[in-house]
Amino acid sequence: MIRAHTVAQVRAAEAALMATLPEGTLMQRAAHGLAHVVLETLGGGYGRRVVALVGSGDNGGDALHAGAVLARRGVQVEAWLLSTQAHAGGVAALRAAGGRVLPAAEAVAAARGRHGHGGTGGGHWDLVLDGIVGIGGKPGLRPEAVAALEALAGVPVVAVDVPSGVDVDTGEVDGPHVRAALTVTFGTHKPCHLLDPAAEACGALTLVDIGLDLPEPDVEALQPEDVAALLPRPGPQAHKYTRGVVGVRAGSATYPGAGVLSVAGAACGLAGMVRYDGDAAVLELVHRGHPEVIGPGRVQAWVVGSGSDTGAEVALRASLADDVPLVVDADALAHADLVRGRPAVLTPHAGELARMLGVPRAEVEQRWLHHARRAAVEHDAVVLLKARHTVVAAPDGRVRVTTTGTPWLATAGAGDVLGGLIGALLAAGLAPYDAASVGSWLHGAAATLASGGGPLVAGDVAEALGDLVALLVAA
Ligand SMILES: NC(=O)C1=CN([C@@H]2O[C@H](COP(=O)(O)OP(=O)(O)OC[C@H]3O[C@@H](n4cnc5c(N)ncnc54)[C@H](O)[C@@H]3O)[C@@H](O)[C@H]2O)[C@@H](O)CC1
Ligand SMILES: Nc1ncnc2c1ncn2[C@@H]1O[C@H](COP(=O)(O)OP(=O)(O)O)[C@@H](O)[C@H]1O
Ligand SMILES: [K+]
């Protein structure tokens, strides 16, 4: 599991640990971890050239101390100070190790002199260390930092702890921020490492252990071993009814394909049987790919709404008449009020969630965590907000972010497959929060498997699920 803690949680854990250790120990651990990741990234030390952008706080201190380690390994290190308040011990350490320290304004002016205004003095450097701000930073960057980043445009950035300028606890951005190729974080992940738009600015992630003792995380991300542990598996005495029956009420004369794709997700094999209750012509289409699907009857979970068109409300009310968990997608989301307090997973994309909450879509896309949590509380149900990094929020405040997937998954009908898949997991007995987060993880990973780096259609995702589950079960 990737566990992400808020700034307040990190501060408390750091304070508790620091009280037991000699002063500066944690920064030394962080700086050494950071320096070793940088050396690995550079493929060595001697002759490499690294510039550190250094703000006024301990984040700059980490960058300076890491710079000192790098300088002792033969790296040419220059620190550009964005403040007169830079970490004194770090400045002294870097100077003592042979590094150069100068005000950022002077370095930027020199770069501009060499390469013209707004120009790229970046060619000289192999890597930028972003020590502008860490968990103490306010969102946005000051003009001096923006100017320094501009002067270094094109040079890969390694963010120290977090990409400077993003909101650490929410992943929101407001104004300019660093875009890193790699983020090296300390002690634990922070929400901004998982939540877009900040997560996209992190690049790859590496965690350096500094020995913190941490509470329950604020946000988490399932990893393959977590998904494998949660996967429903048939026992030796299993029969199709013990494995759970999933019912699908999706598709219509107008949108028959949504019914077919919902069933394709539901028929992933993780439940014992799939029933279809809907348009007879859609059932005929379903049977071409899934002859094992039968008609209406008793189920352990319903999937409702994908392509249901005007029939969504009737389908939802019929599903609610059974006392079983349900997935509420697409057209049925307009009637999500009916579901409040029932075991359910609502699966909106940003536009659908915006309509549910009565806010503009752009606001949802700026504040994914806030809106997913708000909708989960208001609807008293698990809300799965679909996006590049899907957010799954429970009414009690728990949040999981899905980090699997590929932009090729942004294709028509992919959401229908997801709804069916989550329905199968509900029918197999997973709680709504687990069914949603495991389903979303599998959906993204199956897309990556099916894509192989190229385009895909929604049906490919459903088809790849079997191979993916086999890989997870074997591992
Ligand atoms: N506290 C600890 O024991 C440890 C802290 N570590 C490092 O310390 C960092 C936190 O250090 P700090 O608490 O000093 O905070 P920061 O280094 O994040 O800096 C905060 C300071 O920067 C200024 N500032 C805030 N927002 C700004 C902005 N947008 N633009 C420019 N300046 C801004 C403020 O004056 C503030 O005091 C962590 O992210 C991590 O890198 C690590 O060394 C591990 C141990
Ligand atoms: N840029 C992206 N990168 C990765 N996955 C994406 C991206 N955009 C969308 N997705 C995923 O693709 C699926 C699209 O579903 P949805 O919006 O419901 O489409 P449809 O209604 O056509 O089925 C969701 O699972 C979503 O998480
Ligand atoms: K930083």
Tell me, yes or no, whether 212 and 281 share the same domain: no
Tell me, yes or no, whether 378 and 285 share the same domain: yes
Give me the phi and psi of 196, to 5 degrees please: -75, 155
Ligand nearest to C-alpha 186: 1
16-37 average pLDDT score: 97
User: Domain range holding 234?
Assistant: 224-474
Distance of CA 318 to the CA centre of its chain: 35
Query: Is there a binding annotation on residue 140?
Result: yes
Closest residue by Cα to atom 18, ligand 2, is: 415
pLDDT digits (tens, 9 = 90+) for 72-95: 999 999 999 999 999 999 999 999
Tell me, yes or no, whether 321 and 444 share the same domain: yes
Q: What is the pLDDT of residue 117?
A: 54
Tell me, yes or no, whether 299 and 177 share the same domain: no
Q: Is the CB of 386 under 6 A from ligand 2?
A: yes
Distance CA 63, CA 80 (A): 11
CB 224 within 8 A of CB 472: yes
pTM over 0.95: yes
Q: Is the dihedral of CA 305, 311, 312, 315 positive or negative?
A: negative
What's the CA angle centered on 360, arms 457 and 178, to 5 degrees? 75
318-346 average pLDDT score: 97
* Residue 49, strand partner residues: 76
pLDDT digits (tens, 9 = 90+) for 139-197: 999 999 999 999 999 999 999 999 999 999 999 999 999 999 999 999 999 999 999 99
Distance CA 376, CA 398 (A): 10
Tell whether the model's pLDDT for residue 121 goes beyond 70.
no
CB 329 within 8 A of CB 311: no
Closest residue by Cα to atom 21, ligand 1, is: 57
Point out the domain boundary residue: 188, 221, 254: 221
Q: Is the CB of 411 under 6 A from ligand 1?
A: no
Q: Within 13 A of 455's CA, how many CA atoms are on the CB side?
A: 3
Tell me, yes or no, whether 194 and 236 share the same domain: no
Query: Is there a binding annotation on residue 429?
Result: no
Distance CA 308, CA 306 (A): 5
Tell me, yes or no, whether 246 and 168 share the same domain: no
Q: Which helix (H) or strand (E) holds 17?
A: helix 7-18
Distance CA 146, CA 153 (A): 10
CA distances (Å), 176 to each of 172, 239, 272, 284, 446, in order? 12, 57, 51, 54, 34
Is beta strand 100-103 parallel, antiparallel or unpaired with respect to 301-304? Answer: unpaired
Which of 439 and 119 is assigned the larger pLDDT? 439
Distance CA 385, CA 218 (A): 17
pLDDT digits (tens, 9 = 90+) for 295-304: 999 999 999 9
